[in-house]
Structure 1
Amino acid sequence: MSTSEQDLQQTNPLLQLDGLIDYAAVRPEHVAPAVEAQLARVNAALEHAADPATPAAWDAVVEPLEAAANDFGRTWGVIAHLQSVVDTPELRAAYNEALPKVSECFIRLSQNEALYGKYKAMRESADFETLSPVRRRLVERELRDFVLSGAALPEAQRSRVKEIGERLSVVTQKFSENLLDATNAYTLDLEDDSRLKGIPADTLALYRMQAEAAGRTGYRVTLQFPSYLPFMRYCEDRELRETLYRAFATRASEFDGGRFDNTPLMSEILALRAETAKLLGFADYGTLSLETKMAESPAEVMAFLRDLAAHAKPAAERDMEELRAFARETLGLEDLQSWDQAYASEKLREARYSYSDAEVKRYFTEPAVFSGLFALVETLFGITIRAADASVWHPTVKYFEVLREGKIVASFYADLYARAGKRSGAWMDGERTRTFRNGVLQTPVAYLVCNFTPGVDGAPALLTHDDVTTLFHEFGHTLHHVLTAQTESGVSGINGVEWDAVELPSQFLENFAWDERVVATLTKHVETGEKLPHELFAKMLAAKNFEAGMACVRQVEFALFDMILHTSFDPAHETVQGVLEAVRREVAVAFPPAWNRFAQSFSHIFAGGYAAGYYSYKWAEVLSCDAFEAFEEAGVLDPATGKRFLTEILERGSSRDAMENFVAFRGRKPAIDALLRLTGIETKAKDAAK
């Protein structure tokens, strides 16, 4: 390493990878030199691996290249993470400048013909059987991925696949930016609270705080979810609900004057994906996508979704009939509209079960929720979690260490609150993976990201029960990544896990947020310090599956729309909006206005990893409910069952197929019965039949 390279390594926090990243020190000007330095290292490692003189052996080819690629992946992962949580014009510009180079590098790695040859030679050599089972699995998987990346194609087609990959990275990033910018561009400013009747006090305080932050008096409502959702749920002013709903439902569409319109990007993304599939010899992108998933074909996925819809739609229709009748008879809403639905649903739930989300959230204070969550996983999985100090990217970010038998085995960052410049939604991502780096065992690190409403006026943040289940969901992902026992990076944590199985640990953990013993540990009233009363929990439990039929068919709607777009969509004869409306006619019970542009904000499939994979949420829910049923059978807090879940699923990563992991834990293949029972769909069907 030259003197200049050493100086760069010592001064650029994006290249200081021996320990934790100094996030507070990262600046946009660090991005370009860090990317260039890592590109140079990867290129050198690739050149060595592909050299004819380099033997086709794991130690000579895989280890040095993997070490360089892992470090590059971590540097770029940090940059991408910061761009999603503290977006600034300067950071966005640096990210977008580097993005094509990064995409080109990873595509070149996946298509390199000489490297592909080295892996084939490894597979065919007599030494292959001397490799560990995990390493043999990785070689086989790399060969599969080489083919799926176009490495086996003739030069012209391979080059086109590469061009498409590079273009897709740019276009999907632009989709995400448009959605963020469109969300941030809209505000509803009110001078007083005369039109905010029904809004809970803590949400009004948030609106005041948002106005003050903008240098205004009065109240500011935004399209960020913690601001938008309570407004739609509680605001009595129907005209204002319609105004805000229209702004939210038309984000990033042609209705904003073309500033952030995602419509042409969707068409380009779908066309590029379809072309890639054809070049690789697949009938459609959906079939290509499923090559790396549990499901075997789009037909199987759509049959699964339609079977689920057949179970759920009767319950959903009853849900909608009850809601319309209540809105008409009690609220005076003769014609229930989309901007009324959340409001009417909340009023019906309050009337039927005699409690409100606003009442419940007074008990779910953030410190109590985290204390109870940590106690739960400590009981189930034999770990300890403690707060620790680390450099962070925003003052509200927290850092925690995970210990086993007094030894630090992992850590994670928790970025919990919505703010300007932060992508909406909730997610987990791996910051680094458990593996050996320079001969030293590197412990895994994860990002846990949510968009909750922050505490106001010195009070702790108050979480709705929906927020609590969201936190449990993302923490399930976090545990999957940080509790791995694997040391080969390709199978460690969430790496390489089939996309339709990766939601198993997350959805599984959500179920514990409905156990009364667990809930008692999660609650401490913001004023009195009392636990959630049994009577209130009983009401919540009775309402647990309130409108579950509607929720289920809505997810089926999204998943079918996604799979149809990526299999049979014909842009010459139909539109994306037309496909969505056709799917709704088949499975939906709620129909938004014609001007609703949901697809333009469907970032999961247009800018995330869920293209031809959104069905994974329902697919994995079958797995997760069945897995949780094992805990119900043994005792929900049974450490022995927790130990088995840890060793057979969490610790395994992708060292085995996901189905093998599940069968090893459950003793059989998954069944849909637990899902239908836990979501109440089965119960509603039986009640209707009486």
Structure 2
Amino acid sequence: MAVRLGICRLGCRDLFMRRQVCSWKRLNIYFIILSIFLVIQVVTASTCPVYNILYYLPIDRYCTASQENNPLLQQDGLPKFTQICAEQVVPAIQKLTADFDRNRQEVEEKLQVFGADAEITWEDVFNPLEIGGSKLSYAWSVVNHLMSVKNSDELRSAYQQIQPLVIETSTKLAQSRVIYDAIKRLNQSKRKLDEAQYRIINSSLLAAQLGGVELTGEKKEQFNNNRLQMAKLSMDFSNNLLDSIKSFNIILTDKKDVDGLPSSLLQLMALNAQQDKTNVNADTGPWKLTLDIPCYEPFMKHSKQRELRQRLYMAFITKASYGQYDNSDMIENIRNLRQENAKILGFKNFADKSLKSKMAQDVTEVMTLIRNLKLKSKSAATQELHDLKEFANSNGFHGDLSHWDLPYWSERRREQLFNFSEEELRPYFPLGRVLQGLFSLTSFLFGVKIKPADGKVEIWHEDVRFFDILNEQGDHIASFYLDPFTRPAEKRGGAWMDTQLGKSELLKTKPVAYLVCNQRPPIEGVPSLMTFREVETLFHEFGHGLQHMLTTISYADAAGINNIEWDAVELPSQLMENWVYDKNTMATISGHYQTGETLPKHLFDQLIKARKYNAGLSMLRQLYFSALDMELHTSTDPWMDVMKRVSEEYTIMKPLPEDRFPCSFQHIFAGGYSAGYYSYKWAEVMSADAFEAFQEVGLTNRDKVAIVGKRFKDTVLAMGGGMHPKKVFQNFRGRDPSPDALLKLYGLS
């Protein structure tokens, strides 16, 4: 019954828009330009595919609203991205929602024919719903995806116009009493079903209850109105954040202002400035400083200009908190609507409602985990901050450290303690080599092959790549897109995995995933050189992708990441991160972009030691976010008061009075982590314990490691939402998860 109409975005790393106006006049110009390129290609016998030229034309070059030519309705293969434009969204979704609603009514009519004693089957209920919902899910997932990677004013407008219709249509299904009662009868029938089917039935019943199926009258009307408002507010929240980041920049022209910055950052900042049509180069500038993470983080770590660090930091902590992009009131509106709907359903607060569908039993259990980890990490964090202050004072800094000093001095201390810098590692991690090593590891552990399939499908940007996954017999079982580079003008920040298609035996579909990152692109002939953190991020998102793509569950509603309790969904992604610290893996993912030399042993050894550097501060930061999220969804106090209260308990250096972090807390106000941010730590307990299973057999014992890898594939990756995650973990590990491995990992045991 769970029709996937929302955007399922996983992943998550720390916390953009070309105008697309369609007109026949502009289309004629584009066809003339294209004709010229065609002539040039014929004359020069160029082997460069002409379709690459199309990426330099606006996305609406084929814009048409006619239904017969609408690419969102042509679903015989993967999306025709080069043909999709904003103008096509509304007519396509209008048609598909109408078809979807008509299918629901037909299912209801057939179910109402069944007598009281008649036996209802799985095929009577779930098959027609899966078939009937597939086309709308397909198109809506494409629209959501483009909103994240190819955002524009026109696409936003279309999305805002049609989103209420999608929500209203899906709400009618969620609140269908006829279908709800039929599923209850199916659950009580004597007909034998498998474990995955029972899981789907139970989660569908719960989803219907949480979706208001048992509400009537004014309560039902208010509940549904609130859902519409929340959906709009969440999208507005995300757009405000994106626009706020996009609107801020600092143009630097004085050489002393970039003193100490690594060459890779200078190149990126020069590229940023070049986008403003300025004649620049990395050596002479100008340089454009932005809040985009690939620019912000290295600047804060390496800039010797304290005043510039302060200016950038203050802009960062006040994102989307003032002016036309202010999310301040939106936070309270979202909280109030969530709280109101939770109470309509009979819950004390929104957190209680959220946890109803998660592994954690209640708020008390969540806060017990958070506070226990805090006890283990806060004293370590206090000592780490003390040591950092002493280090800064002994190296020429006078006075108290401010928030904008911490990244800079933390990086200087890391360099002294471990005798390497992050920038020193970057040349060893060109994207191509990292991918090669990641795919090699995946083949070794899970018995699959990953092959490039570029040119096989249409893509939304020339930098996007496409890959196929084959099983041990050489059969094609899944595919994925990879969009690796930052594009602040149209692509939101962070990193995530999303689904394009899921596995379904009924629909005969194979899994297809989107893997999206935001690292520095190739610049002036130099390939994309990754920071070590970006390598970890790629492994993380690929872990999500593997769970989606290597599933063996045949029902769409439980295949891959579907139907997995949210606080367990980070298990495979966080486990994959551990492999970058494995010596054998490092030998395959590293290779200097000029010499091919793998990361030297002394650097790798230091990298292992540095893993626990400032582990207490890092742990405490995540616990602060988790506790803040939970408190925002249990308390009715104003969010600023909540933030102040939680920060007193969970931070060493208190946030500045100007700090408005919740205004950019996209995970909980425009993502799937509301009253669920703790999931990162909950799942990390499982992932650390799961990786210890590999360590116990000895990471150098490749035969035994491969056996453990197969077991992980056959349990965690294969079962997806077809089995409760606690049972899945027990099948893999032979017992319940223990937090000991996580504490040991961070040196906090």
TM-score scaled by length of structure 1: 0.95
* Equivalent residue for 1:603, pick from 666, 669, 672: 666
* Paired residues for 1:23-34 under 5 Å: 23-34=81-92
1:146 aligns with 2:208: yes
> Shift in Å at residue 54 of structure 1?
4.5
Query: Secondary structure at 1:385's aligned position in 2?
Result: strand
> Shift in Å at residue 527 of structure 1?
2.1
The one-letter amino acid of 1:104's match is E
Structure 2 partner of 1:210:
272
Query: Secondary structure at 2:729's aligned position in 1?
Result: helix
Q: Say if 2:484 and 2:519, in contact at 8 Å, map to a contact too.
A: yes
Query: Secondary structure at 1:596's aligned position in 2?
Result: coil
> Shift in Å at residue 195 of structure 1?
0.6
> Shift in Å at residue 50 of structure 1?
1.3
The one-letter amino acid of 1:33's match is P
Structure 1 partner of 2:136:
72
User: What is the rounded CA distance, in whole Å, between the counterparts of 1:14 and 1:533 in structure 2?
Assistant: 50
* Paired residues for 1:194-205 under 5 Å: 194-205=256-267
Structure 1 partner of 2:560:
493
User: What is the rounded CA distance, in whole Å, between the counterparts of 2:643 and 2:112 in structure 1?
Assistant: 55
Please give the per-residue CA displacement for 1:565-614, whole angstroms capped at 9, x wherever unaligned: 111x123xxx2122112111112112231101111000001110000000
Q: Say if 1:54 and 1:60, in contact at 8 Å, map to a contact too.
A: no
1:434 aligns with 2:542: no
* Paired residues for 1:279-428 under 5 Å: 279-388=344-453, 389=455, 390-404=457-471, 405-419=473-487, 420-428=489-497
Structure 1 partner of 2:23:
none
Q: Say if 1:251 and 1:601, in contact at 8 Å, map to a contact too.
A: yes
* Equivalent residue for 1:180, pick from 242, 246, 268: 242
Structure 1 partner of 2:10:
none
1:264 aligns with 2:359: no
Structure 2 partner of 1:105:
169
* Equivalent residue for 2:290, pick from 212, 215, 222: 222
> Shift in Å at residue 428 of structure 1?
0.4
Query: Secondary structure at 2:258's aligned position in 1?
Result: coil
Query: Secondary structure at 1:220's aligned position in 2?
Result: strand
Q: Tell me whether 535-544 or 15-24 shows the greater mean CA deviation.
A: 15-24
Structure 2 partner of 1:570:
636
Q: Say if 1:415 and 1:448, in contact at 8 Å, map to a contact too.
A: yes
The one-letter amino acid of 2:610's match is A
Query: Secondary structure at 2:672's aligned position in 1?
Result: coil
* Paired residues for 1:545-556 under 5 Å: 545-556=612-623
Structure 1 partner of 2:305:
237
Query: Secondary structure at 1:362's aligned position in 2?
Result: helix
The one-letter amino acid of 1:433's match is G
The one-letter amino acid of 1:426's match is A
Structure 1 partner of 2:516:
449
> Shift in Å at residue 118 of structure 1?
2.1
Structure 2 partner of 1:685:
none
User: What is the rounded CA distance, in whole Å, between the counterparts of 2:740 and 2:555 in structure 1?
Assistant: 36
* Paired residues for 1:29-178 under 5 Å: 29-51=87-109, 53-55=112-114, 56-126=120-190, 129-178=191-240
User: What is the rounded CA distance, in whole Å, between the counterparts of 1:82 and 1:537 in structure 2?
Assistant: 39
Q: Say if 1:435 and 1:492, in contact at 8 Å, map to a contact too.
A: yes
Query: Secondary structure at 2:72's aligned position in 1?
Result: helix
The one-letter amino acid of 2:83's match is A
> Shift in Å at residue 291 of structure 1?
0.7
> Shift in Å at residue 53 of structure 1?
4.1
Q: Say if 1:108 and 1:162, in contact at 8 Å, map to a contact too.
A: no
User: What is the rounded CA distance, in whole Å, between the counterparts of 1:193 and 1:115 in structure 2?
Assistant: 68
> Shift in Å at residue 659 of structure 1?
0.3
Query: Secondary structure at 1:359's aligned position in 2?
Result: helix
The one-letter amino acid of 1:280's match is L
Structure 2 partner of 1:614:
677
Q: Say if 1:411 and 1:445, in contact at 8 Å, map to a contact too.
A: yes
User: What is the rounded CA distance, in whole Å, between the counterparts of 2:505 and 2:576 in structure 1?
Assistant: 29
Q: Say if 1:508 and 1:628, in contact at 8 Å, map to a contact too.
A: yes
Structure 1 partner of 2:38:
none
> Shift in Å at residue 356 of structure 1?
0.2
User: What is the rounded CA distance, in whole Å, between the counterparts of 1:101 and 1:333 in structure 2?
Assistant: 59
Q: Say if 1:200 and 1:358, in contact at 8 Å, map to a contact too.
A: yes
Structure 1 partner of 2:4:
none
User: What is the rounded CA distance, in whole Å, between the counterparts of 2:277 and 2:172 in structure 1?
Assistant: 49
Please give the per-residue CA displacement for 1:477-504, whole angstroms capped at 9, x wherever unaligned: 0001001001101100100100000000
Q: Say if 1:208 and 1:220, in contact at 8 Å, map to a contact too.
A: yes
Query: Secondary structure at 1:448's aligned position in 2?
Result: strand
Structure 2 partner of 1:190:
252
Please give the per-residue CA displacement for 1:501-523, whole angstroms capped at 9, x wherever unaligned: 00000000000011111111111
Query: Secondary structure at 1:526's aligned position in 2?
Result: coil
Identity %: 39
The one-letter amino acid of 1:59's match is E
Structure 2 partner of 1:4:
none
Query: Secondary structure at 1:681's aligned position in 2?
Result: coil
User: What is the rounded CA distance, in whole Å, between the counterparts of 1:268 and 1:171 in structure 2?
Assistant: 8
Q: Tell me whether 304-313 or 19-28 shows the greater mean CA deviation.
A: 19-28
Please give the per-residue CA displacement for 1:380-402, whole angstroms capped at 9, x wherever unaligned: 00000011122110111111110
The one-letter amino acid of 1:123's match is N
Query: Secondary structure at 1:586's aligned position in 2?
Result: helix
Q: Say if 1:433 and 1:444, in contact at 8 Å, map to a contact too.
A: yes
* Equivalent residue for 1:586, pick from 638, 646, 649: 649
> Shift in Å at residue 9 of structure 1?
6.5
User: What is the rounded CA distance, in whole Å, between the counterparts of 1:193 and 1:111 in structure 2?
Assistant: 63
Please give the per-residue CA displacement for 1:601-650, whole angstroms capped at 9, x wherever unaligned: 00001110000000000010000000000001123351110000001110
User: What is the rounded CA distance, in whole Å, between the counterparts of 1:677 and 1:131 in structure 2?
Assistant: 42
Structure 1 partner of 2:40:
none
Structure 2 partner of 1:467:
534
User: What is the rounded CA distance, in whole Å, between the counterparts of 2:527 and 2:319 in structure 1?
Assistant: 31
Q: Say if 1:14 and 1:26, in contact at 8 Å, map to a contact too.
A: yes
User: What is the rounded CA distance, in whole Å, between the counterparts of 1:54 and 1:251 in structure 2?
Assistant: 56
> Shift in Å at residue 125 of structure 1?
3.6
Query: Secondary structure at 2:696's aligned position in 1?
Result: helix
Q: Say if 1:327 and 1:334, in contact at 8 Å, map to a contact too.
A: no
User: What is the rounded CA distance, in whole Å, between the counterparts of 1:41 and 1:239 in structure 2?
Assistant: 58
> Shift in Å at residue 116 of structure 1?
1.5
User: What is the rounded CA distance, in whole Å, between the counterparts of 1:506 and 1:10 in structure 2?
Assistant: 41
User: What is the rounded CA distance, in whole Å, between the counterparts of 1:98 and 1:315 in structure 2?
Assistant: 50
User: What is the rounded CA distance, in whole Å, between the counterparts of 1:155 and 1:190 in structure 2?
Assistant: 60
Q: Say if 2:427 and 2:529, in contact at 8 Å, map to a contact too.
A: yes
> Shift in Å at residue 529 of structure 1?
1.6
**Is there any run of 5+ residues in structure 1 with no aligned partner, and where?**
1-6, 683-690
User: What is the rounded CA distance, in whole Å, between the counterparts of 1:54 and 1:526 in structure 2?
Assistant: 68
User: What is the rounded CA distance, in whole Å, between the counterparts of 2:568 and 2:89 in structure 1?
Assistant: 34
The one-letter amino acid of 1:614's match is Y
Q: Say if 1:107 and 1:165, in contact at 8 Å, map to a contact too.
A: no
Structure 1 partner of 2:693:
630
User: What is the rounded CA distance, in whole Å, between the counterparts of 1:199 and 1:274 in structure 2?
Assistant: 47
Query: Secondary structure at 2:356's aligned position in 1?
Result: helix
